[in-house]
A and B are shown apart, each in its own frame.
Chain A
């Protein structure tokens, strides 16, 4: 391939597909490179699709996108060893079209999205790994090197949508190696069961879905959470904890997952299912402070590669799609203005991001990672105390309620002290304000 492209997009996940789609739609000559055998075959997510980010590019995506179920109920469980305290929110309003959130199966969804990218006119080449970026004498990025014969390909700009393990960005010194404290390791299984069984088990109708967020003792004191999502005829169940925490203990990720699956409140939900795939993935959860430089002469970074994940709200794919789209729009505008793809003209990308929910949300929660890293009581002591308090109140044994209240309060004080409790309340407020 000696042809020069307007843009090369590395990777065919949500951010890369959003970028390639937007660029191709505007008539640019786009090459997208994907290392998997097809788009999606290397990609892992829970997965929830947030309609809004996709709708802005493909308003009628619901007509043919492979969607599993729209979410009508959100459960949040705080677990002790054999119990949970939970809150559920369910609303028939979530059944009104257009639906806002869907469960999806990424291998299928990404393939569909890639089809749209190709229809828009981009050239998509799979089974091709980009091994390095090509630079000119002024150190500008001018193309990519791939693992195929004669594999140098040139472009005005290269968009790195290569995911959390962005070896390309690291090799090019765009950012240092990711630190274990800025990334979570999540493992997941998918369990298949008949649609009717699943619907009955979760008290839902044909197209309806449930999300369960899991929090507490299941992470063995590590900073992390679990999740359970209902697909059409399968359940995705997973757990993720910060890598810096995994490093300090002796439980393997699959033991942790197995332990969670065997929790007495979770096990019945999976009963009879057939496990058909086990996956693992890193999630960049360093937040606002961990975002690297995301543009330069001839290059831009989008999606996970740029740490664009809102861990608090479990949003990632929508940030990925939005960063991909905004990077593409920056290129389209620069090209229309006859500008070269220099750092100065691509700086507009950062401005667009600053004005969007992407940076605003990440900024809002910028203190959160540090606060939870240094305050483990939120993952162990509190889930335990809350569960035991509820248990005490519900266990009828002749002890009067006032005495029980006093016992509960003193168990909180014993574990955290009065100042500790007040400090924790303040920390939580700071983390989420």
Chain B
């Protein structure tokens, strides 16, 4: 089943902290060469992680739901740098 997560995220309200993503990949090379599973691309419920054909993992955190999944599943390499957004920024749940 092909589901476009963007269509779901479109319903949400965000205040993006432009230029200051609160999640980042520490060393992109680790994703390419050392991580065999790249499960962040499967498990992130907002589809923030995508795989490029060359084995690279690209992270765009604008749609982040701030659940913390990527931080916790990257337990082998600890390659995700995850902080909370600055106060007032990020996802703003209308219903929660």
Interface residues of A in 155-187 (CB under 8 A from B): 164-165, 167, 177-180, 183, 185, 187
> Do A43 and B96 form a contact, CB below 8 Å, given A147-B87, A189-B8, A255-B1?
yes
Bound state CA distance, A127 and B37, in angstroms? 36
Bound state CA distance, A242 and B43, in angstroms? 11
Interface locus among A32-40, A56-64, A287-295: A32-40
Contact call A180/B72, Cβ cutoff below 8 A: yes
Q: How far is the CB of B68 from chain A (nearest CB, A)?
A: 4
Q: How far is the CB of B21 from chain A (nearest CB, A)?
A: 15
Q: Which residues of A contact B3 (CB under 8 A)?
A: 252, 254-255, 258
Q: Whose C-beta in chain B lies nearest to the C-beta of A179? A: B75
Q: Which residues of A contact B86 (CB under 8 A)?
A: 129, 147
Q: Which residues of B contact A425 (CB under 8 A)?
A: none
Interface locus among A202-210, A276-284, A370-378, A409-417: A276-284
Q: Whose C-beta in chain A lies nearest to the C-beta of B90? A: A42
Task: Judge whether B31 is part of the interface by a CB distance below 8 angstroms.
Answer: no
Task: Judge whether A95 is part of the interface by a CB distance below 8 angstroms.
Answer: no
Q: Which residues of B contact A129 (CB under 8 A)?
A: 84-87
> Do A45 and B65 form a contact, CB below 8 Å, given A129-B85, A243-B73?
no
Contact call B69/A259, Cβ cutoff below 8 A: no
Task: Judge whether A107 is part of the interface by a CB distance below 8 angstroms.
Answer: yes
Task: Judge whether B42 is part of the interface by a CB distance below 8 angstroms.
Answer: yes
Q: Whose C-beta in chain A lies nearest to the C-beta of B1? A: A255
Q: Which residues of A contact B18 (CB under 8 A)?
A: none
Q: Whose C-beta in chain B lies nearest to the C-beta of A189? A: B8
Q: Which residues of A contact B69 (CB under 8 A)?
A: 185, 243, 246, 280, 282
Task: Judge whether B27 is part of the interface by a CB distance below 8 angstroms.
Answer: no
> Do A185 and B92 form a contact, CB below 8 Å, given A35-B87, A180-B73, A255-B3?
no
Q: A107-B95, A180-B75, A254-B45 are in contact. List 9 more A-B contacts (CB 8 A).
A: A42-B90, A110-B96, A129-B84, A246-B39, A246-B42, A253-B43, A254-B5, A255-B1, A276-B95
- Sample (7) of A-B pairs whose CB atoms are under 8 Å apart: A127-B87, A185-B45, A246-B73, A247-B43, A277-B12, A279-B65, A279-B96
